[in-house]
Amino acid sequence: MTSDDRPRAGLTGAQRTAKARVSAWWRRWRRWPDRAATATVLWAVLYAGFGLVCALRGTSVLDHAGGSWAAGLGWAVMAVGVLAALVGGAVVRYGLRPALRVLLWITCGLTGIIAFSLLMDVVTLLLGQGVDHPAAAANKALAAIGAALLATTARSGDRSGDRSADRPGHRPDHRPAHRTDGTAARAPSAAPRFVRRAAWAGTLAFVPYAAMKLVWAWGGTFAGITGAQVLAVSERNGASGIFLTLESWGLDPTALLAVLGVVLLRGLVRPWGQVFPRWTPFLRGRRVPRWLPLAPALLGAATLAPYGVVGAGYLALATADVVTIRRGDLPTAGDALLVGWIGMAAFGIYGIALTVAARSYWLRTRPAARPGTATG
């Protein structure tokens, strides 16, 4: 019987049962990479079937796209699914060979491109609004799941052996927890100075954006438009009741999401982002699974960084009078440029900072070679 299985003073029978269930779930989760290839094959069959159905029914898998060429993209989706199924099946049958690893990463890149802008759909759903194109949203969601599975399969050969849970919080000196595969979990650490400065840049970039949104939410006027006008525009564009209620309370939902994004960014560069806090029942002191912060970080980086950079390029052309910017509901082109620069600077700088921070988190949380263990 291990120390985790012994009854502890002060815990009721129900609490001990719940703790045992959490520990069992944790052990099963740590063995997840061993089953990644099989899960990838199952996903690939589902994704290929989705593409086939869309192609046969003439349903477009892209937002705001019509015509026969858009409907025919379902065949491309099916082709990606078939490729993933073949590669995943080969991994299950023959193991993770170098050539198969390359094909996995190529397919992962394709699905990652397809999943672009999924974050926008997630935000609209969180605010209680429906997506504009359900088939396109489903395509992006399935592609994002596939990208995660393909990446996990491609890296599954890098991890083997016992994956028992690491709980540095139970060790006063936070020494690495050794595992039987010759590796040890690294102690929680802060990101290098350059990465921390990038995170501060991403944090500060959202300050003007949040301030602009809060001015409107509190009924003020910015860029020639009042808060009441912004609320009326949101209602006319089909904003959900949750969105309108929060706005009426002076809480802009997008500003709240920006705060959550900043918390994620700070957690990626600070040690507290690698260990569950003390107030989490049964999990305090345990290592945070790497996918938990990395999944939203990679999704946000893949969406916001290119969106902000491309948008900033368009605004630069509009500022130089090369192209004409659309005013939308704003009084003048100058007001549209002001609002656009605030938004694109926030998205672009934050997206780049999120990319840098996610890479640093990935590297800092990789299992380290145990001292004295031969590598090769």
Domain ranges of the chain: 33-158, 182-369
* pLDDT given at position 32: 55
For residue 376, the number of C-alpha atoms closer than 13 Å in the C-beta half-sphere is 3
Name residue, tokens 């904003």.
239
Q: What local confidence, expressed as pLDDT, does residue 318 receive?
A: 92
pLDDT of res. 350: 95
SS3 167: coil
DSSP-assigned states of every residue in 132-155: S-HHHHHHHHHHHHHHHHHHHHHH
Per-residue pLDDT of the chain (376 residues; tens, 9 = 90+): 444 444 444 566 666 777 677 666 656 655 555 578 889 999 999 999 999 998 888 888 776 555 555 667 888 999 999 999 999 999 988 888 899 999 999 999 889 888 877 777 777 666 656 666 788 888 988 998 998 899 889 887 654 433 333 334 344 334 444 444 445 667 888 999 999 999 999 999 999 998 998 898 888 999 899 988 888 887 877 777 777 777 777 777 888 888 899 999 999 999 999 988 877 777 777 888 888 898 889 888 888 888 899 899 999 999 998 988 888 888 999 999 999 999 999 999 999 999 999 999 999 988 766 555 544 3
Residue 375, classed as helix, strand or coil, is coil
Distance CA 305, CA 285 (A): 33
Rg of the chain's alpha carbons, rounded to an integer? Answer: 24
What is the pLDDT, as a whole number, of residue 184?
61
Sign of CA dihedral 81, 86, 90, 93: positive
- DSSP H helices, the chain, are 13-30, 36-57, 68-71, 73-94, 98-114, 118-126, 134-155, 193-217, 227-236, 241-248, 253-269, 291-319, 333-364
State how far the Cα of 25 lies from the Cα of 19, in Å rounded to an integer. 10
Is the model's pTM score more than 0.85? no
Residue 111 CA to residue 33 CA, distance in Å, equals: 19
